[in-house]
Amino acid sequence: MKLSNLLKQSLFFGALLIYLTGCHTDTPTDFDQTAPSVKLTTVTTGEDTLYNYKNEEGFTDFSLTLSNSQSYKFSFMVEDAGEMHSLKLECASELEPSKIYTVKKTKNVSDITDFEVTGADFPILIEEGAVQKLYISATGFDTYENSGSSNKFGFGILKFHPLEKFDQDLGSFTEIDGDKVVNFKELSDKLVFIQLYGYMCLSCKEEAEFFNSLYNGDNFNKEKCAIELFGVSYNGHLDSAYVKDAIKDNLDLKFDCFFDEDLRVAHWIQDYLGLSSIGNDVFAVTPNGTVLKFEHDISFEEWVNDLYNQYCGEK
């Protein structure tokens, strides 16, 4: 009797397994595997048309330069079999065209989607010269995570120092002790380290202590280098009192410290660099306007010292 029941159970579960396996090996018939089609149609400024796809053969890469004082509209035709999720305006340098940076992104995608930009919206990817040569394109993503990109078109971009744009977008900041106002555009001729310091972050503490030893060194050149720390509250635990007491006073930091109350600074850096996320990171802004993120491929001390020696001379 027990053997008979066991046999029945075995047959039942065997049949169930075959049924489930059959269900899961069926290929869905409604799955969209078609990549979106994205095409640059026009580039306009005011009433002037700088590019029209109907005369694409008349366009020469890098023959046009985008300035910081004018607004330019890049219009893209977007087609997809399903529903679009987002569209990104992207750029890459002429020297490293495979490394793509996000300039702007939108989830409001229609058949014709526009991006309004000035030269100041583009990151500085090439240090030499007043104008950098960048390839501009767009990539669309649908709800099934298929993606498609437009062709790349080369434009000259008149440089706009990121610290000037930082100041333009966010204004000045008052140091945590309340006795000093910092306009970051006034630091644009220096090597500037910006540290985002989070709550109970051990690596942040170690990095700040190293910055402090550098800053307090006999040979530190304050005319060529600045160190700026922003306490950031990603989880709501950190406030201005914490930045003043637990960070600046407890570590006896002599350089500028601020509280990024609503993550304006963190989000600005994230958007400027086109990062998908941001955390307790450290960045360097060079006098030429390039923004570098510490990537942990070498030690923090080596990264800071290499940049300092390159732009400020040996310590």
Task: List, for residues 108-157, the tens digit of each pLDDT value.
Answer: 999 999 999 999 999 999 888 899 999 999 999 998 889 999 999 999 99
Rg of the chain taking only CA atoms, in angstroms: 26
Average pLDDT over residues 32-40: 89
Domain ranges of the chain: 37-158, 162-312
Alpha-carbon span 205 to 144, nearest angstrom: 42
Q: How confident is the model at residue 314 (pLDDT cuts 50, 70, 90)?
A: low
pLDDT tens figures, 195-250: 999 999 999 999 999 999 999 999 999 999 999 999 999 888 889 999 999 999 99
Q: Evaluate if residue 29 carries a pLDDT over 90.
A: no
Q: Evaluate if residue 257 carries a pLDDT over 50.
A: yes
Task: Identify the pLDDT of residue 313.
Answer: 83
Q: Which two structure tokens, joined as six digits, stand for 55?
A: 């005369």
Domain 37-158 grouped into CATH 2.60.40.10 = yes
Q: How confident is the model at residue 12 (pLDDT cuts 50, 70, 90)?
A: low
Domain 162-312 grouped into CATH 3.40.50.300 = no
Phi/psi-derived region of residue 263, left when phi > 0, alpha when psi is between -120 and 50, beta in every other case: left
Mean pLDDT, the chain, integer = 89
- Is pTM beyond 0.75? Reply is yes
Contact 167, 203 (CB under 8 A): no
Phi/psi-derived region of residue 68, left when phi > 0, alpha when psi is between -120 and 50, beta in every other case: alpha
Q: Are strands 65-66 and 153-158 parallel, antiparallel or unpaired?
A: parallel
Task: Identify the pLDDT of residue 3.
Answer: 47
If you search the block for the tokens 């500028």, which residue do you land on? 256
